[in-house]
Amino acid sequence: MKIISFDALRTLHLPHVRYIKPESMYEHLDEIKQADWLLFPQYWQLNALIYGLKKRIFPSLASYMIGHDKVEMTRTFRTLAPQQHPYTIIAANTPYEAERIWDEMPSPFVAKIPRSSMGNGVFLIETLGQWHDYIAQSDVLYAQEYLPIDRDMRIIWVGNKIVSGYWRLQSDNGFHNNVSQGGQVEVALIPKEAQDLVSYLAESLDINHAGFDIAMVGSVPYIIELNRIFGNQGLKNIQHDVNTELLNYLNEQHLLSTANLIAQPVGF
């Protein structure tokens, strides 16, 4: 099985993987055409690789499309699990919409910059001044219900299963739970309700590589967002577990596609 990676760091410990810099793609088209898998291409490469060369990528196209920004995620989650995603208003950044959202959203609420990660671009809005500061930073207005929690979960999905998960406790310097923002990791039981929600979303959406952020309000799990590219600083062996399942999944899918080709009637 021939595997090419476009992300050296994320595939550093995967055996027999050929790394090609994304910007050097056009110098290696013959190699790319011969590959069975293309791992972690950049977003700008997708059309050329999938539609131009008809190649198979990992993560899945759905993982890229839905995970591209918070607006795409929210619209998808509201379709599949509307009762398990915080109430959210998405609108153009105009004076009318800004005033409407301020009047409509109970305070406090959370405002987010759609294309941000690691807790950056996420603000707790308690005053009109904070709302105006946010408005000046974002092209799109994204206001979300504030959930009364002091922790959430990061649940890692690779291939077709959950491979790891942990709790993230709120940092001392704000309301963020992200480890990159000072949140603390706690190893504890991940509720079955949260696992079931992640499995339902990943399987329904054809997601095969993501970190799902799940909050528990009482016994009800809420999907906050997913991260196609997620950090590995939560648990000591998390990257090893991810790599093991990633390779198992690639091999499994390759064998299935090979078997289907062999079983295909001659002439088709």
- Write the CATH number for 91: 3.30.1490.20
Domain with 129 in it = 87-145
Are 110 and 163 in the same domain?
no
Are 141 and 162 in the same domain?
no
User: Is residue 230 within 8 Å of 210, Cβ to Cβ?
Assistant: yes
Q: Looking at residue 177, which CATH number applies to its domain?
A: 3.30.470.20
- Give the per-residue pLDDT at 118: 64
Mean pLDDT across 236-262: 87
What is the rounded distance in angstroms from the CA atom of residue 53 to the CA atom of residue 57?
Answer: 11
Q: How many CB atoms lie within 10 A of CB 148?
A: 7
For residue 55, give every residue at least 6 positions away whose Cβ sits within 8 Å of its Cβ, in sequence order, or none.
Answer: 32, 33, 35, 38, 49
Residue 167 pLDDT grade (very low, low, confident, very high; cuts 50, 70, 90): very high
Amino acid (one-letter) located at 61: L
Are 131 and 199 in the same domain?
no
Dihedral (C-alpha) 236, 199, 15, 229: value to the nearest 10 degrees?
-70
- Give the per-residue pLDDT at 182: 58
For the segment 137-158, what is each residue's pLDDT rounded down to a tens digit? 999 999 999 999 989 999 999 9
Dmax of the chain from CA atoms?
A: 69
For the chain, give the mean pLDDT.
Answer: 91
Are 155 and 240 in the same domain?
yes
Are 131 and 175 in the same domain?
no
For the segment 190-246, what is each residue's pLDDT rounded down to a tens digit? 999 999 999 999 999 999 999 999 999 999 999 999 999 987 766 778 888 999 999
- Give the per-residue pLDDT at 105: 97
Residue 67 pLDDT grade (very low, low, confident, very high; cuts 50, 70, 90): very high
Query: At residue 127, does pLDDT exceed 80?
Result: yes
**Does residue 194 belong to any structural domain of this protein?**
yes
**Does residue 45 belong to any structural domain of this protein?**
no
- Give the per-residue pLDDT at 205: 98
Query: At residue 64, does pLDDT exceed 90?
Result: yes
Q: Total structural domains in the chain?
A: 2
**Does residue 130 belong to any structural domain of this protein?**
yes
Query: At residue 112, does pLDDT exceed 70?
Result: yes
Query: At residue 119, does pLDDT exceed 90?
Result: no
**Does residue 153 belong to any structural domain of this protein?**
yes
**Does residue 66 belong to any structural domain of this protein?**
no
- Give the per-residue pLDDT at 170: 78
Query: At residue 176, does pLDDT exceed 60?
Result: no
- Give the per-residue pLDDT at 108: 96
Query: At residue 254, does pLDDT exceed 60?
Result: yes
User: pTM for this structure?
Assistant: 0.89
